[in-house]
Amino acid sequence: MRDSFNHIIAIIAFSLSIFAPSADAQSNSKGKDSPVVVGVLKEADATGKNLKVLQAGEGLRELHIDSKSKIYFVGIVDKDSRTATIGYGVKASCDKEGRIRTISFTPPIPEPKPLGEERLAMFPTGLFKLVDTDKNGLVGYGEFSRSVYHSPKHGPDHFRTADSDGDGGLSSTEFLNALEKVSWWILSRKTPDVWFREADNNGDDTLSTKEFGHICTSGNHINNVFKRADLDDSGDLSLRETTTYIRSITHGKQNNRKSRQRKDQPTTQSAS
């Protein structure tokens, strides 16, 4: 019973730590001179080329569209609404002077509303019908962001790539293509034990960082994620540690920004 309780605590602790900022990975979308700007459009002049974007916790950032800027309207079905509109979400890349290289405008981004664990056993068709809350036969940006993949920074690019015909919504086929790049969906297609056995190339019942790459979808951040998943600091991952990592992704733990608790300190968290 105690081992089971400790395992639950490990899942909770890792779920908190996996989303915590790392000293090894400084965000490129923070600060007044950051090359990536993520926020909400607050002001636009009559030309629609001089903008002020509110970055979360960072204040207003002035941005400027010129002839070289690439402009995308993501998830906006009505073509007449494809203009710089106050309240739209913004993800832009720019130089220190605010000259825009690329900018994506999205409809206002709703608060996330996870669907619950039943989504893990669903087929794409059933999930599509559930996410398409307005029943128009397409999954809109707001619907996708609310229930499937909520990321103001990465969401616009993800959705735009999946929306192959550029009509502002995802058909069932486009929705499937988008799902196949979402971590919780990928990892829910197999049990943790199957993922572990497939990744354990040398059959030593542990995973190295390289082997963990078969499971982890964090790309350049894999070393940081591996260190957090390695709860006993052994330098490799056991089946139990791997299961804890996978469940932290698939079971929709909240992105909790509380101070990260060190692994060597006792925790006061309790299982709910």
> Domains plus CATH for the chain?
2-19+186-250 (1.10.238.10), 36-106 (2.40.50.320), 117-181 (1.10.238.10)
Alpha-carbon distance of 217 to 225, in angstroms, equals 10
pLDDT reported for residue 58: 77
pLDDT reading at 23 higher than 80: no
The pLDDT value given to residue 28: 56
> pLDDT-derived band of residue 182, with 50, 70 and 90 as boundaries?
very high
- Strands 89-94 and 70-73 come out as unpaired
Q: Which range is least confidently modeled, 80-89, 224-233, 256-265?
A: 256-265
Distances (CA, A) of 229 to 108, 133, 185: 34, 36, 19
Question: Is the pLDDT confidence value at 24 over 60?
Answer: no
What number of H helices and E strands is found in the chain? 10, 8
> Does 76 score more than 50 pLDDT?
yes
- Taking only the tens place, the pLDDT of each residue in 9-18 is 444 444 444 3
Reading phi first (left if > 0) and then psi (alpha if -120 to 50, else beta), residue 2 is in: alpha
248-266 pLDDT tens trace: 999 855 333 333 343 333 3
For residue 183, the 8-state DSSP code is H
* 250, 187 contact by CB (below 8 A): yes
Per the prediction, the chain carries an average pLDDT of: 84
| pLDDT, mean of residues 219-241 | 93
Residue predicted with more confidence, 69 or 18:
69
> Who has greater pLDDT, 212 or 13?
212
pTM of the model: 0.78
Assess whether pLDDT exceeds 60 at residue 229: yes
Asked if residue 156 has pLDDT above 90, the reply is yes
